[in-house]
A and B are shown apart, each in its own frame.
Chain A
């Protein structure tokens, strides 16, 4: 579907916001760099304050122009193709760390702060935010929260919802609302911030986030264990998990993924062992023993190199899928996916203990991409799971809902969107059920 607003609406909007902004905060040109689903914005606004964002959105709702908030612009392919996209709202200039209280293990940040910069600042105090999505250097905390992006550490640390304790959000009408706070335990008011995580900018523009952070582990080591089959790799991981070993991450990689990450070509259990020195030593010993008993090759890797390679492999681009099944069914699901998706060339990685499988492929044509999507969707259904498409060619995405079929709670979601954004100006059409 094409844009529902006319150029004159956008012109009127630009005329209205121009006095509110410095000359370099409003760019009126179609920028292909900020394309979303093949659509380019007609204008780019780069605010530097919450007040500016409030006034920009107030004008946007008056002129009914659609706005997509943008962080580092590294994951713009996520979500459905928007139904309309007039203005890119870049948060690049809002990148401060507002407060970091090391002794409270909390940090308050602006959305445009790059994840790498946040991690570096926390590391100075021996801390980190234990979210490790497959990011790029430019990826921001706001983007991670808007996408609910996560990586292998989800095994031990959950997702953004488990770390976000407070937000400030500018809504479609320009109002600013706060939820949660800066304390780690708090049940005052509804947990609105849970709703904003993963909402793809459809309920508001996140302008401030307070997160819990964790102490960096004293000791860390990464192991790669070659395994005969998907089932065998999954078993090794589940056994280590059941033994309570000190695992911060445990991914099961398909042979093409193993090849991309560490240059070998077997199924592989990739484990990040971390914690206190004694617990890590014991965990390494037990994993080594289990591998030896199973006759599996085991290799110790340089942690950051291995996980950076994982990250590079699983950035959502080309064709990227995420399948969620029960943890106990990961082994068989992976085996079937490996066989069905383009005959064994799919790079697959599963966070076994949470039942999450990523597939990264290069489709040679739109038709092939669609065939792969259909096959993966069938496999997900076969194992009582669900699937989300993180990246696909725009032409393919236009014909489908990348989030899959809606469920019995969709009516609530739709009413929520109606309440927050009745004129559908915020990232319209991008979310579940094309909200």
Chain B
């Protein structure tokens, strides 16, 4: 109650200075780069989650100087700044929780340089993930991290969230592919972290910055590593009559020393949603399928595919299919890539979770996940990055059912707790954001959080950037989630990717 009141107080404080902030923003950036009327702002109230928050202004800078100018104005008037990419995030990272100025980086979308000889690219933050790989493809290169939203999400957003994707198993997440960034600090100062050469002396600030969820700085240029497109790729679909057999196959593959480039699992409910639409060839009576990809030299993929087939068969796979030609491989992947949105066919709403467990705990945690969903009277569909133990249970429901949303949130929290108890984590790639900031205490104690909190003063960030995100709530943030949940539940299940 009092916390919610504080939150409103902050928003009202913003409202007081906002007309002047908007005038200054317009003067600095030009009318065409500033939105401030309620109608214009509606589209910027939410991202890929159920959370909402109304900014008082949205700006679209087109250069580092303009980002810096906008940040300086916000700094001068002491209003929050919320960096935003494509708004596909799944933890509320781009939501203006207590209002403020959203800095939308979508107009900074130039690929500034592709250095073929050195296999790197310098991009602006608004470049769409897939567009970078497309730009690199003529040179035989690609950008490895591939979140399922890669047709829409931006590199800047990927950096903020340390985004993952199916192909992180062998090649790592965003943090393993970012070499440097030009950043704008909360006082408008510009600095470079890392660089284009590999060894830059000093603390690994770029490593700390990636995944900081927009709380430390805004990246205005990003240097990323590109990888060579593989000579050969083989994709296998292994079909199982039990989820346990599929999980055990995952463990067997990893234990055998094979690190596929992707190792994904889909369960019966996902198959039921996807197959009638996509016709990927997933059997409707299977309990689980594994989608496994290996890439390297031709000789390597032949060896690995054979070994994987044997391991799956030894773990009771009903059938293992192999796709080598690109169209065949794409057909197998089509079901995976559209799986979440296909869930809309089965239920009006779904809520996607993101937890991580040690790979050896998959069987146990999946069993508990199904049991929890059943106990809450919810259907659950699992599609996830099994190879690195990154689960994405989707809770399926109809928000018009009385109490359904509350049950979903409670069940989600319980499943997260199971992940933590199994030695895992509450998020593998979506971020803590607003959604999980109160779960973080399950993993980190006061001293752990105190060490992390030292980064904000080091970056001179204070609470200017993306306040109320990624860490347990502090004074001024309010009980945002509770305050907003009832009227925003309808946003669940709009356009979600994992």
Contacts from A to B (Cβ < 8 Å): 101-106, 126-127, 148, 158, 161-162, 169, 171, 175-179, 181-192, 194-195, 197-199, 203, 214-216, 218, 242, 244-246, 275-279, 281-283, 322, 324-328, 354-356, 384-386, 388, 403-404, 406-413, 415-416, 418-420, 431-433
Contact, CB under 8 Å: A411 / B191: yes
Given A189-B440, A197-B204, A326-B197, answer yes or no on A281-B299 (Cβ-Cβ < 8 Å). Answer: yes
- Give me the 10 closest cross-chain CB pairs, A-B, nearest first: A194-B207, A215-B257, A278-B299, A177-B451, A328-B117, A279-B300, A419-B454, A403-B201, A324-B199, A416-B458
In Å, the complex CA distance between A353 and B202 comes to 22
Known A192-B452, A328-B117; further 10 A-B contacts with Cβ < 8 A: A103-B359, A175-B447, A185-B428, A186-B427, A189-B440, A407-B202, A412-B459, A416-B205, A418-B458, A432-B201
**Which of B56-64, B161-169, B308-316 forms contacts with chain A?**
B161-169
Q: Which of A246, A411, A419 lies in contact with B300, CB distance below 8 A?
A: A246
Partner of B257, one of A106, A216, A403: A216
Interface string of B351-365 (1 = CB under 8 A from A): 000001111100000
Question: Which residues of B does A touch, CB under 8 Å?
Answer: 115, 117-119, 161-162, 164, 168, 172-173, 175-176, 190-193, 196-205, 207-208, 210-212, 228, 230-231, 251, 254-259, 296-300, 302-304, 356-360, 385, 388-390, 423-432, 436, 440, 443-445, 447-452, 454-455, 457-460, 470-471
CA distance A218 to B208 in the complex (A): 35
Cβ–Cβ contact B173 & A185, under 8 A: yes
User: Most chain-A CB neighbours within 10 Å: which of B118, B212, B231?
Assistant: B118
Contact assessment for B299 and A276 in the assembled complex, using a CB-CB cutoff below 8 Å: yes
Complex: chain A residue closest to B206, CB-CB: A194
- B300:A275 contact, CB within 8 angstroms: yes
A411 to B189, CA, bound (A): 11
When A101-B358, A276-B303, A279-B299 are in contact, do A185 and B390 touch as well, CB less than 8 Å?
A: yes
| Residue from A178, A276, A282, A410 in contact with B448 in the complex, judged by beta carbons closer than 8 Å | A178
Complex CA gap A184/B361 in Å reads 13
A186, A216, A409: which contacts B191 (Cβ < 8 A)? A409
Minimum distance in angstroms from A304 CB to a CB of chain B:
20
5 intermolecular pairs with C-beta atoms under 8 Å apart: A178-B448, A185-B389, A188-B425, A203-B203, A355-B198
Q: A104-B358, A190-B212, A326-B197 are known contacts. Are A179 and B258 too (CB-CB below 8 A)? A: no
Q: Report the separation of the CA atoms of residues A198 and B205 in the bound assembly, to the nearest whole angstrom.
A: 11
Q: Are A161 and B300 in contact (CB under 8 A)?
A: no
> Which A residues touch B430, using CB under 8 A?
187
Q: Tell whether, in the assembled complex, residue A244 and residue B199 are in contact, meaning their CB atoms are under 8 Å apart.
A: no
Are A199 and B426 in touch, CB under 8 angstroms?
no
CB–CB B423/A183 < 8 A: yes
**B255 and A192 form a contact (CB under 8 A):** no
Which chain B residues border A404 with CB–CB below 8 Å? 201
Interface majority SS (helix, strand, loop, mixed), chain B? loop
Q: Are A103 and B197 in contact (CB under 8 A)?
A: no
A178 to chain B, nearest CB (A): 5
Query: In the assembled complex, which residues on chain B have CB atoms less than 8 Å from the CB atom of A244?
Result: 228, 230-231, 296-297
Contacting pair A189 B432 (CB below 8 A) = yes
Q: Tell me whether A190 and B455 are in contact (CB under 8 A).
A: yes
**Contact, CB under 8 Å: B389 / A183:** yes
User: In the bound complex, do residue A246 and residue B297 qualify as a contact, i.e. CB atoms below 8 Å apart?
Assistant: yes
Task: Give every chain B residue within 8 A of A184 (Cβ-Cβ).
Answer: 356, 359, 388-389
> In the assembled complex, which residues on chain B have CB atoms less than 8 Å from the CB atom of A322?
199
Nearest Cβ on chain B to A285's Cβ, whole angstroms = 10
Residues of B near A355 (CB, < 8 A) are 118, 197-198
- Cβ-defined partner of A187 (8 Å) among B299, B389, B431: B431
CB–CB B300/A278 < 8 A: yes
Cα(A143)–Cα(B54), bound, Å: 49
- From B207, which residue of chain A is reached at the shortest CB distance? A194
Tell me which residues across on chain A come within 8 A of B299, comparing CB atoms.
Answer: 276, 278-279, 281-282
Are B426's CB and A419's CB within 8 A?
Answer: no
Q: Are B297 and A279 in contact (CB under 8 A)?
A: yes
> Which of A103, A244, A407, A412 gathers most chain B CB within 10 Å?
A412
**Cα(A372)–Cα(B343), bound, Å:** 66
B256 contact set on A, CB distance < 8 A: 215
CB closest chain-B residue, reference A283: B297
Contact B390 A412 (CB under 8 A): no
Q: Which residues of A contact B445 (CB under 8 A)?
A: 178
A197–B199 CA distance with the chains assembled, in angstroms: 13
Q: Which residues of B contact A215 (CB under 8 A)?
A: 256-259
Within the complex, which residue of A106, A192, A386, A418 is in contact with B208, where a contact is CB–CB below 8 Å?
A192
Is there an interface contact between A179 and B389, defined as CB atoms closer than 8 Å?
no
* Interface contact B212-A214, CB-CB below 8 Å: no
CB A110 to nearest CB in B, in angstroms, measures: 19
Give chain B residues whose Cβ lies under 8 Å from the Cβ of A214.
259
Nearest chain A CB to B174 CB, angstrom units: 9
